[in-house]
Structure 1
Amino acid sequence: MTSEAAVAATRSTTRWLPVVMLALGAFCAGTDNYLIAGILPDLSADLHLSVAGGGLFVTAYSLAYALGSPVVMTLVRVRSPRRLLLVSIAAFVVVNLLAAVAWEPWVMAVARVTAGCLAGLYSPLAAAAAAGMVPRERRGRALALVMGGISIATLAGVPIGIWLAHLWTWRSAFVFVAALAVLATVGIALNVTTGGAAPSVPFRQRVAPLRRPAVLLALVVTIAGMCAGLMIYTYVQPIFAAIPAVGGGLVGALIMTHGLGALVGLGFGSTLVDRFGSRPVLLGTLAVFTVDMALFPLASQTLVSAFAYVFVWGIVGWAFLPAQQHSMIADAPPELSPMLLSLNGSAMYLGIALGSALGGAVLSGLGAGRIWIFATAFAAVALALSFVRHARGPHPE
């Protein structure tokens, strides 16, 4: 390698390192949210709850994120986005240690709600900072890298947490998340140096984009798509443990396979978005996602088909997210990016909250083997509404 090539490579690495540190924070938040799916039976038993009742901790985190993000972003008046990023991810250490020592359900609920609010503050700021650090033509990849922190959480963070829980106790999984938060805090403090003012936007102005049909439909697509996926993911343990071909011992491997698919989907989807725009990516991935959800009865017949099912689900279930984010900020002024990404983040977590709550209701009423029917229905709704949105005619990408 010539000296010029070495310098160019160093500059490229330096340019992307802050984005990687922001993705580490997203990895921490993603692990914190999705971890419960793998430790749900033990956590529920220790806190004297049903499995469906324990699943409501996912709902609590996600609902706090969905509803708290625009409110917190409005109320917090610190002028430095970097300081907000550091405070929010550092506070993750405290709330996860609280979850680790939770002695009653209400203590865990407080920890989960607080963690959701902190994630709602961190995530849109991190995504907007990442998008602002790279050239316009690479925004999709930068956003996908930050979102990749969440998909890598399902690939690595959640399985590691499950493994630690099996070695010791489910409480050790939250200590693991607290340790991740310490690393993320140090990484952001040392590498993310961008300043700039965080505009204080009135709540009415913050939610004003909801009046635009294209934006509203995009958010509803996000809600329905996330609801479909998380309806199954939250209860992946009881769903697949009841399948003779799989059993409970392989749930961690299934979660890892799903995370690998999510990582592939985010990278592949972001590349297609940068090249072709969001429309074909949204419609294509949602169509395959709906079909995949509907094939659960066939997928559950053998171990190989079960792993193929969760892998494809990971790819297409996450590939549409960079397109949604890209369409939100493509033509918006940079200072409004946190507001738009906050709304989309709220839609994501509202879908997660809805999926975990409805999945728990189906689990209690009809059994784990029927959750896929409702997941397929919500995936179909996301696809149909995406077609409606784009059939209205050209709109800014």
Structure 2
Amino acid sequence: MPLPLYLLALAVFAMGTSEFMLAGLLPDIASDLDVTVGAAGVLTSAFAIGMIVGAPLVAALARTWPRRSSLLGFVLAFAAAHAVGALTTSFPVLCTTRVVAALANAGFLAVALTTAATLVPPDRKGRALAVLLAGTTAATIAGVPGGSVLGTLLGWRATFWAVAVLCLPAAIGILKGIPAGRVEEATGGPALGAELAQLTRPRLLLVMGLGALVNAATFASFTFLAPVVTDTAGLDELWVSVVLVLFGAGSFAGVAVAGRLSDRRPGLVVAAGGPLLLLGWPALAMLAHRPAALFVLVFVQGALSFALGSTLITRVLYEAAGAPTMAGSYATAALNVGAAVGPLVAATTLGTAAGNLGPLWAGGLLVAIALLIALPFRTAVAAGRSAEVLR
């Protein structure tokens, strides 16, 4: 894999830390800004909504922009949003900064995913995606738990400052390592209208929907892990970081395995990982009061969630091959529809008899829906590097 791809992954690490870090900070943010934990969970959805709206919009605008300056501008805007978020005492302002950060993140990912695809041979898109997602999984292993510890010791605002500072070396790496050409020049793609028309293809919409549902299950459960650790399992607040490390380590393992299979054997990942992921969330809900079981299942669910999710998002990139400058935005939008819907669905379960475990049950339900939809179209989902439009 080329060095510029790893420089992009460094920026994804900073952005992934921000996207996932709220899982360990929600209780403190809720207390500091005088809102409920469920309301604070809206911060995750606000970020995801910004990503959904921003990904296709910014990708369309950035088609004729220089790749290097676009990526650099997005990273700096992302850092500035976190600086403002660290200073504010208003929950609505904090929500606004999350949307702004998401727009910057969406633009970055849309350009980065497209750029990454041009840096590798056509049949290695899955491997390239795995390298980029390694930045996200590294964030769940190191960045998010580190942010949780920092938030516990110095307050949640310190974590926001840390993310802003983390963007600076990523910006330098982009400035030094990414070619300056335009995205449109790199891909030699068709007109924007033709690329947007790809969204009418049933097979593309299918894999986007499945990717969104699996990611919704991941975020529904992951966002509200902190109360499960401290209240259900009865562990000290610092153990939240340990659980996040385990989830991140699992996600890293899942992406590593899926990265080698998603190009040629996506059906194997879906057939093996889907049912196991479905069983895992209810199992975690029933055994979360036992710390040992909690630790093991969190690792396993992290691996399965990211293996299945990254495979489906790779399918989005292949199915959107006719939209070379917009494919990254379609993948980003699919990921973040799930990231927006998941926490909102999970938040509605917190006031039920399930309590803190409600989000885990919601995660299982969302995976079940995804598998029920995928079953009649399993041939399309399992297709290799190229596929024909569904009739």
Same-fold status (TM-score > 0.5): yes
Structure 1 residue 357 corresponds to structure 2 residue 344 = yes
**8 A contact 1:289–1:379 mirrored in 2:** yes
| CA distance in structure 2 between the partners assigned to 1:134 and 1:185 by the alignment | 22
Q: 1:20 to 1:77 in 2, by over 3 A?
A: closer
Aligned residues: percent identity?
A: 26
| CA distance in structure 2 between the partners assigned to 1:263 and 1:164 by the alignment | 22
| CA distance in structure 2 between the partners assigned to 1:204 and 1:77 by the alignment | 12
Aligned to 1:379: 367
Aligned to 2:45: 59
Within a 5 Å distance, the mapping from 1:381-396 to structure 2 comes to 381-391=369-379, 396=386
Q: In the alignment, which of 11, 19, 34 is matched to residue 33 of structure 1?
A: 19
CA shift for structure 1 position 78: 4.5
| CA distance in structure 1 between the partners assigned to 2:59 and 2:148 by the alignment | 32
Unaligned runs of 5+ in 2: none
Aligned to 2:241: 252
Within a 5 Å distance, the mapping from 1:133-212 to structure 2 comes to 133-193=119-179, 195-198=181-184, 205-212=194-201
| CA distance in structure 2 between the partners assigned to 1:385 and 1:22 by the alignment | 34
| CA distance in structure 2 between the partners assigned to 1:267 and 1:338 by the alignment | 26
**8 A contact 1:70–1:203 mirrored in 2:** no
Aligned to 1:313: 301
Q: 1:197 to 1:230 in 2, by over 3 A?
A: closer
Of 188-197 and 229-238, more deviation after overlay is shown by 188-197
| CA distance in structure 2 between the partners assigned to 1:224 and 1:76 by the alignment | 28
| CA distance in structure 1 between the partners assigned to 2:344 and 2:153 by the alignment | 29
Of 255-264 and 371-380, more deviation after overlay is shown by 371-380
CA shift for structure 1 position 333: 5.1
Q: 1:376 to 1:135 in 2, by over 3 A?
A: same
Give the letter aligned to residue 352 of structure 1: A
Aligned length in residues = 381
Aligned to 2:317: 329
CA shift for structure 1 position 369: 2.2
Aligned-residue CA RMSD in angstroms? 2.2
Task: Report the 3-state secondary structure (helix = DSSP H, G, I; strand = E; otherwise coil) of the residue aligned with 2:297.
Answer: helix
What are the Cα deviations for residues 295-346 of structure 1, in whole angstroms up to 9, with x where unaligned? Answer: 1244324222111111111111001233223323337658x33412211211
| CA distance in structure 2 between the partners assigned to 1:330 and 1:341 by the alignment | 10
Give the letter aligned to residue 331 of structure 2: N
Structure 1 residue 368 corresponds to structure 2 residue 356 = yes
Structure 1 residue 269 corresponds to structure 2 residue 258 = yes
CA shift for structure 1 position 244: 3.4
**8 A contact 2:215–2:339 mirrored in 1:** yes
Of 192-201 and 361-370, more deviation after overlay is shown by 192-201
Give the letter aligned to residue 84 of structure 2: L
Unaligned runs of 5+ in 1: 1-14
Aligned to 1:339: 326
Give the letter aligned to residue 350 of structure 1: V
Structure 1 residue 286 corresponds to structure 2 residue 274 = yes
